[in-house]
């Protein structure tokens, strides 16, 4: 993991002191709420429906056990005993008091964490593949570059008052687990002629105008990474729209100019910057890379007979291993996914006790390392296959062994109208009702991979546009209604879902999802064709007929 | 309003050009960007230093050949959340080599001083209360991750310098 040196410590300490001063000025009435808002937002502090909400950055989703214990402590001491993991690999606390937030930031700084730029019109927390460094099919470890970009983007003096928020994601494996094409900038690591570099995509995003990012450069040599990013940011900062908040994201600029013309502007700017002070020296890449050296793995023969035997012997363990265990690049090791989607639970929530328990498990089984996924789950990235059975039993004791990764109950949902001041409808109760409806595991396995995502408003924090089944909560004359989209996906073949028809009531939407799933089961080919493949093949018609045909 | 220049409260000797009128003889005068573009041949003859007033929408490349003529460029921040002026400043300083006074005007608040300074601004028109906070605001951080045109060495340079010394 990346460890702070004196420079990083000094910067975060400076930020805490600065924010303490700003809070004091606010409490003393020297700052109006209007003046304070952008300052608190740049430290991740929102004012929501019922209270302030503090969003803490987890850079590219990598956490140590000590950091997770600190988050548990903050949940207990300053909140109501739980935290909420988000689709941007961050964690949110829903009930902090304004006057205590500087103390929370102090506590975070102790474990090399902060809330810098988790909000506001600036470059947000950089995200990456949660399996970075361990995925069997990885080409290059994206954490090294994500960390370099984290530093470059932190308190960037030129880009702290952008037209709108800005999200950068990295992926270095064959599978895109970082939803690159739904980001303002997506960077896919690739090799060309023995050289490491990036495919650069720009202008993706969700919200009320969802768009898939366009590739503006097929290969960017790694030493030009920061110069090229600075060029993109400068073009956006100068020419992005500022007259209308809903047209201010870079996707609108890319769309209005056209990807080619946008790329030409970036290349022209890049020509003035390349090879200058932003040139990324190989020595710096190697210095950062040393932070991400593999842990001291044991030499283990693979396959591991004990693990394979246990999977066959114990059906519950076998079920969990089937969905929640991923392939590790190292023989004898596995990636263990911890679902934060218990049947009927709140997606992404974890109690302080659960966080402590996961921290202990990470120390015992995974070199003290934890990852957060954009699907709002946790990962222990290096568990010996021989340990998996025992590990799973201990998970179960904390209600953390739900065997549903990638299945219909592994739902992404935004906080919705239960917390959020922007929401038009509740998301969490809908997620809970769907989860409960599909509780039977054999049925979930029969359905197979199905990505269901729920947003409580058009801003799409719940990623509904890219759900295989997407649900959008709307308000119609004071009543909650839910619009369904089908066929969205966030992977390398990213696509936006299509609206299936008139929306449903809060109870009707659960029945509608069930009808969609039953329709899929009846029309899939060979009993195994995945849901998304079926929708791609058949289009919306059979689902429309099943839902609305009787009317 | 108070003018802070190079970290100290200063007297503002500049006047703004009156619209449609000749520049006041012998007075350092700030002219709007559009007027310079349309009438630079007349303005060049001004008998005192010339300043230029830019908004975030004005393209600094359009005056690339002329930056040396200006003793001052003022960049307007209509609201402090409009960050275009930061890019304008860096282009003027780092690409076009502007050496004169670079002044931030408009909605300029103490919480922006440091970022503005890092982007090359050395003069600020602010409310009186903010003038008092100038030095405190500039001392809030001592670590920088990004190279800009200012004299502050970014962490990357310091780290490798330290490493080389070992």
CATH number of the domain that residue A382 is part of: 3.90.480.20
What pLDDT, in 10s, does the model give residues A460-499? 999 999 999 999 999 999 999 999 999 999 999 999 999 9
B41 vs A: CB within 8 A: no
In this complex, which of B83, B90, B111 lies closest to A39 when CB atoms are compared?
B111
Residues B95 and B120 sit within 8 Å (Cβ to Cβ): no
In this complex, which of B81, B115, B141 lies closest to A11 when CB atoms are compared?
B141
Q: Helix and strand tally (H, E) in chain B?
A: 6, 8
Whole-angstrom distance, CA of residue A421 vs CA of residue A37: 15
> What pLDDT score does A428 carry?
96
Q: Give contacts of A18 with chain B, Cβ < 8 Å.
A: 140-141
Note whether A151 contacts B83, CB cutoff 8 Å. Answer: no
Taking every pair of Cα atoms in chain A, the longest distance, rounded to a whole number of angstroms, is: 69
Looking at the predicted complex, does its ipTM rise above 0.95? Answer: yes
- Is residue A139 located within the same domain as residue A285? yes
- Is residue A236 located within the same domain as residue A338? no
pTM: 0.96
Boundary residue ending a domain (A348, A365, A397): A397
- Is residue A141 located within the same domain as residue A285? yes
- Is residue A330 located within the same domain as residue A431? no
Buried b (16+ CB within 10 A) or exposed e, A383-399: bbbbbbbebbebbeebe
Whole-angstrom distance, CA of residue A271 vs CA of residue A318: 55
> What pLDDT score does A74 carry?
98
**How distant is the Cα of A265 from the closest Cα of chain B, in angstroms?**
13
Q: Which of B75, B108, B137, B146 to mutate to test the interface with A (most CBs of A within 10 A)?
A: B146
Can you give the CATH number for the domain in which B10 is found?
3.40.50
- Is residue A153 located within the same domain as residue A260? yes
What pLDDT, in 10s, does the model give residues B119-165? 999 999 998 877 888 889 999 999 999 999 898 999 999 998 888 88
A120 occurs within a structural domain: no
- Is residue A441 located within the same domain as residue A493? yes
Q: Quick one: closest CA in A to B109, which residue? A: A35
- Is residue A184 located within the same domain as residue A212? yes
A257 occurs within a structural domain: yes
Can you give the CATH number for the domain in which A267 is found?
3.30.413.10
- Is residue A90 located within the same domain as residue A207? no
Distances, alpha carbon A488 to alpha carbons A206, A381, A495, in Å:
11, 28, 5
Residues A55 and A90 sit within 8 Å (Cβ to Cβ): yes
**Strands A479-486 vs A498-499: parallel, antiparallel or unpaired:** antiparallel
Boundary residue ending a domain (A260, A289, A318): A289
- pLDDT less than 70: residues of chain B: none
A365 occurs within a structural domain: yes
A56 occurs within a structural domain: yes
A425 occurs within a structural domain: yes
Note whether A156 contacts B84, CB cutoff 8 Å. Answer: no
- Is residue A156 located within the same domain as residue A249? yes
> What pLDDT score does A344 carry?
96
> What pLDDT score does A469 carry?
98
Note whether A14 contacts B148, CB cutoff 8 Å. Answer: no
- Is residue A141 located within the same domain as residue A260? yes
Number of domains forming the structure of chain A: 4
- Is residue A386 located within the same domain as residue A422? no
A404 occurs within a structural domain: no
- pLDDT less than 70: residues of chain A: 550-551
A53 occurs within a structural domain: yes
Number of domains forming the structure of chain B: 1
A123 occurs within a structural domain: no
- Is residue A378 located within the same domain as residue A429? no
Structural domain of residue B95, as residue ranges?
2-165
Cis omega (within 30 of 0) for bond into A497: no
Structural domain of residue A539, as residue ranges?
412-548
């Amino acid at each position: 993991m990346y460890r702070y040196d004196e420079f990083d410590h000094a910067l975060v300490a400076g930020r805490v002191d600065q924010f303490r001063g700003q809070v004091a000025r606010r409490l003393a009435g020297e700052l109006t709420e209007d003046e304070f808002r952008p300052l608190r937002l740049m430290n991740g502090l929102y004012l929501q429906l019922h209270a302030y909400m503090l969003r803490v950055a987890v850079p590219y989703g990598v956490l140590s056990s000590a950091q997770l214990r600190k988050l548990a402590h903050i949940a207990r001491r300053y909140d109501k005993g739980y935290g909420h993991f988000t689709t941007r690999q961050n964690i949110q606390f829903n009930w902090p008091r304004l006057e205590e937030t500087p103390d929370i930031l102090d506590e975070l700084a102790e474990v090399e964490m902060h809330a810098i730029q988790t909000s506001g019109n600036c470059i947000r927390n950089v995200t990456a593949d949660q399996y970075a460094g361990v995925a069997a099919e990885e080409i290059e470890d994206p954490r090294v570059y994500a960390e370099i970009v984290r530093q470059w983007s932190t308190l960037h003096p030129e880009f702290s008052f952008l037209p709108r928020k800005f999200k950068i994601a990295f992926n270095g494996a064959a599978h895109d687990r970082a939803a690159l094409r739904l980001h303002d900038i997506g960077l896919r690591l690739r090799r060309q002629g023995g050289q490491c570099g990036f495919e650069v995509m720009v202008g993706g995003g969700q919200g009320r105008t969802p768009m898939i990012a366009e590739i503006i450069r097929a290969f960017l040599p790694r030493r030009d990474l920061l110069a090229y990013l600075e060029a993109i940011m400068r073009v956006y900062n100068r020419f992005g729209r500022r007259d209308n908040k809903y047209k201010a994201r870079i996707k609108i600029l890319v769309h209005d100019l056209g990807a080619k013309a946008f790329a030409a502007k970036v290349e022209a700017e890049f020509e003035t910057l390349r090879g200058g002070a932003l040139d990324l020296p190989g020595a710096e890449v190697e210095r950062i890379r040393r932070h991400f050296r593999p842990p001291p793995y044991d030499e283990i023969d693979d396959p591991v007979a004990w693990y394979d035997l246990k999977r066959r012997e114990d059906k519950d363990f076998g079920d969990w291993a089937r969905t929640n265990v991923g392939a590790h690049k190292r023989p004898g090791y596995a990636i263990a996914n911890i679902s934060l989607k218990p049947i009927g639970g709140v997606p992404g929530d974890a109690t302080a006790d659960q966080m402590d328990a996961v921290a202990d498990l990470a120390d015992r089984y995974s070199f003290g390392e934890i990852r957060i996924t954009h699907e709002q789950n946790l990962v222990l990235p290096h568990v010996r296959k021989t340990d998996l059975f025992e590990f799973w039993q201990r998970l179960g004791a904390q209600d953390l062994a739900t065997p549903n990764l990638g299945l219909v109950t592994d739902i992404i949902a935004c906080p919705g109208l239960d917390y959020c001041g922007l929401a038009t409808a509740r998301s969490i109760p809908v997620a809970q009702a769907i989860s409960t409806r599909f509780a039977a595991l054999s049925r979930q396995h029969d359905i197979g991979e199905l990505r269901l995502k729920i947003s409580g408003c058009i801003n799409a924090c719940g990623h509904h546009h890219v759900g295989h089944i997407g649900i959008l909560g709307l308000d119609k004359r004071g009543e909650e209604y839910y619009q369904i989209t089908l066929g969205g996906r966030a992977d390398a073949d990213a696509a936006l879902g299509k609206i299936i028809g008139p929306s449903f009531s809060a109870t009707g939407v659960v029945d509608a999802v069930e009808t969609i799933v039953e329709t899929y089961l009846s029309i899939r080919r060979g009993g195994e064709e995945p849901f998304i493949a079926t929708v791609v093949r058949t289009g919306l018609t059979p689902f429309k007929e099943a839902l609305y045909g009787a009317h | 309003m108070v003018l802070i220049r190079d970290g100290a409260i200063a007297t503002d000797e500049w006047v703004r050009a009156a619209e449609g009128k000749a520049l006041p003889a012998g007075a350092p005068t700030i002219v709007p960007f559009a007027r310079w573009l349309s009438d630079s041949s007349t303005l060049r003859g001004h008998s005192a230093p010339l300043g230029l007033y830019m908004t975030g929408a004005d393209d600094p490349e359009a005056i690339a050949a002329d930056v040396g003529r200006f003793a001052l460029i003022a960049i307007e921040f209509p609201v402090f959340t409009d960050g275009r002026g930061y890019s304008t400043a860096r282009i003027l300083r780092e690409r076009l080599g502007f050496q004169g006074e670079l002044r931030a005007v408009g909605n300029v608040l103490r919480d922006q001083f440091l970022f503005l300074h890092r982007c090359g601004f050395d003069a600020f028109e602010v409310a009186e209360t903010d003038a008092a906070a100038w030095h405190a605001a500039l001392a809030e951080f001592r670590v920088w991750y990004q190279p800009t045109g200012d004299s502050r060495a970014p962490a990357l340079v310091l780290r490798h310098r330290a490493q080389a010394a070992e």
